Structure 1
């Protein structure tokens, strides 16, 4: 029997033709990572002004906020509307998983500050260190133990913005040598991840090509990112996906 649970992806960017054809867009990418048999998944193109109505919100068990080429610290109309929606979901204690831009806008919605990363673009694979608090928050998961008993996950990254600071009610649960706030959790219902657990190397390589073609990154930056990805030895990738699923489904 199906679970009957219903989830919504709040898509914060237009799909590229490549991702649309190969993966069914980023909605397809997230559904492929998170969905389980019997669930219903919907998508709202929030960057195009499409939002769930108030009477629709109650019908969802959780929401996923995707990445975007827009700035989470911006004040575009749709971004302001998304902030209002996220504040409403927080008040209703609806589960929300924010990824990359979604992580940043979620941090802003709960009272944090976001902006350009002082260290510039972070593209490739990054070792994310989970804090001791993460083990307490996720006791049902066997988190990867490495590097002198520290919990480390390899995560694909592609961002030039970051969460600068969070309010006291939110807790940092992951950091890297490039980004101080890689993961955070607020209460039992909000979680942000700066990296991209939904990405695979093919998606990242295509994105690097697009960024380079649009002169948003330099050739040197692109080469470094490709080399970084080529040397990647996946560590904890499935654990991170399982963490996302378990959080969103309320199993932690």
Structure 2
């Protein structure tokens, strides 16, 4: 995409609904990502409207939120698949539909694909790589991630600090992709194929407040123990590189 082309048309595929405090502030996860991209644009002294146009599409059947809505391929240049509490390896019909839609975008060659956390896993599954529950447990709050040389170039960083909220993993980097990052708990932290797709297992869009709400909610639900949450909360408000990752996504969209 050259510098004189109109801003890429990004469809955000919402695969979950935020918890109450986050929903009140941002509405849906498209609002969380729009806020992130706006901060990335501001960091470059540019209006977001000059870099991106964004539409939101809820893809989980849930009559209490919104009807399922996929964008028409001719109306978009890229998709971003959000994180989710759901499992990317499940065979619910809506997850299979999402995998098929993602695969069609990648195989078509024109629509670029960004995957974040659950979205990263959906892209991996669409590319034929197994997704499974890690036997190493949860990775949460701000974590230091080791970048490959490609990851360093794409995100403009030597080391990546990013929020995490997962225990499912993509088991390998897909054939034809370039590894972006890894941790001891999760060897496949992101992968990239120029002009086709880019993914991260972490959550560049999350803030300390969003992660704190998730941690406390899952503690009340009995998913996270008191000790686990106490340690994670100590890292929830640490400085992180979400804006740098968003700038990398914007560069990817204009490759």
Query: TM-score range, shorter-chain basis?
Result: 0.7 to 0.9
Alignment equivalent of 2:115, drawn from 94, 98, 101: 98
Are residue 184 (structure 1) and residue 187 (structure 2) matched?
A: no
Deviation at 1:37, TM superposition (A): 1.2
1:246 corresponding residue in structure 2: 251
Q: Secondary structure at the match of 1:126?
A: strand
Deviation, 1:165, is: 1.6
Gaps of 5+ in 1: 145-150
- Deviation of 1:238 (Å): 3.0
Q: Give 3-state SS (helix, strand or coil) of 2:174's partner.
A: coil
User: Which residue of 59, 63, 66 corresponds with 1:46?
Assistant: 59
1:23 paired residue number: 26
Which residue number corresponds to residue 74 of structure 2? 58
5+ long unaligned stretches in structure 2? 39-47, 62-66
Q: CA deviation at 1:2?
A: 10
Q: Distance in 1 between matches of 2:115 and 2:36?
A: 14
RMSD, aligned α-carbons: 2.1
* Per-residue Cα deviation, 1:71-128 (whole angstroms, up to 9, x for no partner): 0111011000001001100111211110000001111101111111121011111111
Q: Partners of 1:16 and 1:229 in 2: how far apart?
A: 16
Aligned to 1:158: 165
1:180 aligned counterpart, secondary structure: coil
TM-score, L = length of structure 1? 0.86
Maintained 8 Å contact 1:3/1:37: no
SS of structure 2 residue aligned to 1:184: strand
Q: Write the distance in 2 (CA, Å) between the matches of 1:163 and 1:113.
A: 6
Deviations 1:7-28 (A, max 9, x none): 1110111232221211222110
Paired with 1:195 and 1:113, the residues of 2 have a C-alpha distance of: 18
Match of 2:84 in 1: 68
Contact 1:111 1:166 in 2 (8 A): no
- Number of residue-to-residue matches in the alignment: 236
2-structure distance, mates of 1:12, 1:237: 20
Deviation at 1:4, TM superposition (A): 5.0
> What residue number does 2:104 align with?
88
CA separation in 1, counterparts of 2:57 and 2:187? 30
TM-score, length-scaled by structure 2: 0.85
Q: Which moved more, 1:106-115 or 1:33-42?
A: 33-42
1:180-210 Cα offsets, whole Å, 9 max, x none, are 0111113421111000000110111011111
C-alpha distance in 1, partners of 2:174/2:30? Answer: 30
Partner of 2:45: none
